Amino acid sequence: MSSISSDAFEKAYDLSLSNPSQFWGSAAKEITWYKSPKIILDTEKTAHGQWFVDGKLNTCYNALDRHIEAGRGEEIALIYDSPVTLTKRKYSFAELTDQTAHFAGVLKNFGIRKGDRVIIYMPMIPETVVAMLACARIGAIHGVVFGGFASNELAVRIDDAKPKVVVSASCGIEVNRIIPYMPLLDGAIELAEHKPSAVIVVQRPEFETELLPGRDWSWNEAMASADAIDCVPLNSTDPLYILYTSGTTGIPKGVVRDNGGHAVALNWTMKAIYNVEAGDVFWAASDVGWVVGHSYIVYGPLLKGCTTVLFEGKPVGTPDAGAFWRIISDYKVKSFFTAPTAFRAIKKEDPDAELLRSYDLKDFKILFLAGERTDPDTLRWAQEKLEKPVVDHWWQTETGWSIAANCAGLGLLPIKAGSPTKAAPGWCLEVLNERCESLRSGQVGALCGKLPMPPGSMLTLWNAPDRFIESYFQEFPGYYKTADAGFIDEDGYVFVMSRTDDIINVAGHRLSTGGMEEVLTSHPDVAECAVIGVADQLKGQLPVGLLILKTGAEKQTGEIIEECIQLVRDQIGPVAAFKKAAVVSCLPKTRSGKILRGTMQKIADNEEFRLPATIEDPVSLEEIDEALQKMGLSKARK
């Protein structure tokens, strides 16, 4: 046992590994079942495990109807706040259930039955949540695609999922522009071999689109003629949704989530990890197109009976860097979850957090960060300004919830900067070398989870069972490959340094780019950074830093770069061979906040690269390319 512990956490963790059936069987009792499961864990069909295989339930019923039956129908289930449209709206559990039941009737009228797929291509509006829950209500499998995805990327997903119906909206709305969706959707359907039979469109008042007769239908008109539909009993292992995540081949992987394991795990995490109860206000500032939005905007909070916040805005620019503080203050948010990149943006615009002073955060208890590694400088800034616990936690689309976390509901452990704390209950995490041998504490290697995976993890990949095995279980037999690299210290704390392919080899020394980024962001003038490894004939690879400076930085750019280079030399050593850095105005990121280090590395090495579909600002790559050229790395491209 480690020297740093919480009795409640240690007991939960030990039981989850020594007797997973007892641990998760107990958690399953908090979910309402049509048929309670007798078989908690089945590892005969698959090594990664299936959960509650003989149980029957409905996720929508557990998220909505059961709270009404418990007398909580008039309590607020969903708060919609849209600074881009100046709209605020609250939905009680009764209202949200009514909307969901009627849209389930719409889907039924369009021929949707259990097992059919529905693609949801929508912005952050309440109808998106309704569409997801309505699919769950009748056993249809939803595939949410981030609104505004390019036509070809949407077409790939349509061809893979083969939906009968697509649910969309007339537009998405950014800070200063409207994005019409129908031209993108029309282009996708034209490109796709599979043709959905119908498209249901929410006409937003900010921009109405023309509907194609015979294919497109107005949401409001379809709802007006639909009956309310009850929940359909489903097997625990029936798919709830498909969520596409990027693949190394450039072809997206359709992660499949089940109903039973997903409901049990997410309901359990709301108290155990996020320390919220029914009636508390929980906010995840993400998008429903990502796994965070699925797990912690829609399903997790509603399963627990919390009030969840749907925010159609940005951390800065809607209207300023105080947007998050306003939401927390206005709605008495108790527990808040966002990405480190959001806090870096706030820190850049308002380094002294002056806007924070205008808001009352007395009901706010704890901040959770995930999506990218939380660098210690951002952690310290958030701790200092908020004067609340700031918890980094680590998880993936494939896992559905935390692999490692500081479980606030089980007693907060001491926080170590740069670590998402310890492996969460259900996860036996080890650091392995390329021969699948466990490494000692402090040694960097591949972070892998011993099988079986806990409930809530992916069931398979849609239409790709062989790729499922090859991608996640083949390289390290008996383990789930996270594809993240890092180490576990003597106290059992996990340190996720980078993706496995972000470990660079400098003259035979394996070095983490994440470790160098940690050093660079400790510089008082650096708001954010990325380190990439570029090819070098002599040393194999050399690290290169790309820096974003804080607003109001007084020193000259050249002086800051020199100081950053010296910092890395002082704290990591000459072995890092860190000699090149440049200041840029922005870093290329996906819309979920992940920095595209692999793409930048390909640019630096003059390799062909595929522009990721999820990139937030493609123009940012031009600035990166120019900066790399000035350092003598990238060559001019046509």
Of 129-133, 491-495, 601-605, the least confident? 601-605
**Per-residue model confidence (pLDDT) at position 90:** 98
In this prediction, residue 1 has a pLDDT band, given cuts at 50, 70 and 90, of very low
**Per-residue model confidence (pLDDT) at position 605:** 84
Of 377-391, 405-419, 577-591, the least confident? 577-591
In this prediction, residue 113 has a pLDDT band, given cuts at 50, 70 and 90, of very high
Q: pTM (2 decimals)?
A: 0.83
82, pLDDT greater than 60 = yes
If we measure between CA atoms, which residue out of 95, 160, 96 comes closest to residue 128?
Answer: 96
Rounded to whole angstroms, how far apart are CA atoms 508 and 79? 53
Q: What is the mean pLDDT of residues 450-474?
A: 96
CB 48 within 8 A of CB 465: no
**Residue 595 tokens, joined:** 């920095």
State pLDDT tens for residues 284-306. 999 998 899 999 999 999 999 99
Q: What is the mean pLDDT of residues 20-29?
A: 98
The domain segmentation of the chain, as residue ranges, is 7-313+393-487, 507-630
CA 354 to chain CA centroid, nearest Å: 29
If we measure between CA atoms, which residue out of 148, 83, 19 comes closest to residue 321?
Answer: 83
Rounded to whole angstroms, how far apart are CA atoms 511 and 576? 7
CB 497 within 8 A of CB 487: yes
Task: Give the residue with greater pLDDT, 345 vs 439.
Answer: 439
Rounded to whole angstroms, how far apart are CA atoms 366 and 403? 19
Q: What is the mean pLDDT of residues 58-75?
A: 98
State pLDDT tens for residues 140-172. 999 999 887 778 889 989 999 999 999 999 999
470, pLDDT greater than 50 = yes
Question: 559: which DSSP letter?
Answer: H
Q: What is the mean pLDDT of residues 612-628?
A: 76
What length is written for the chain? 638
Q: What is the mean pLDDT of residues 40-59?
A: 95
Kindly state the percentage of the chain with pLDDT values over 90.
Answer: 73
If we measure between CA atoms, which residue out of 227, 234, 189, 238 comes closest to residue 107?
Answer: 227
**Per-residue model confidence (pLDDT) at position 506:** 75
636, pLDDT greater than 60 = no
7-313+393-487 matches 507-630 in fold: no
Question: 453: which DSSP letter?
Answer: P
Bridge partners, 172 (sequence order): 179
- Fold of domain 7-313+393-487: Rossmann fold (3.40.50)
**Residue 193 tokens, joined:** 């071999």
In this prediction, residue 638 has a pLDDT band, given cuts at 50, 70 and 90, of very low
Cα–Cα–Cα angle for 445, 45, 474, rounded to 5 degrees:
25
In this prediction, residue 503 has a pLDDT band, given cuts at 50, 70 and 90, of low
State pLDDT tens for residues 194-249. 999 999 999 999 999 999 999 999 999 999 999 999 999 999 999 999 999 865 44
502, pLDDT greater than 70 = no
509, pLDDT greater than 90 = no
- Fold of domain 507-630: GMP Synthetase; Chain A, domain 3 (3.30.300)
CB 13 within 8 A of CB 1: no
Q: What is the mean pLDDT of residues 397-412?
A: 96
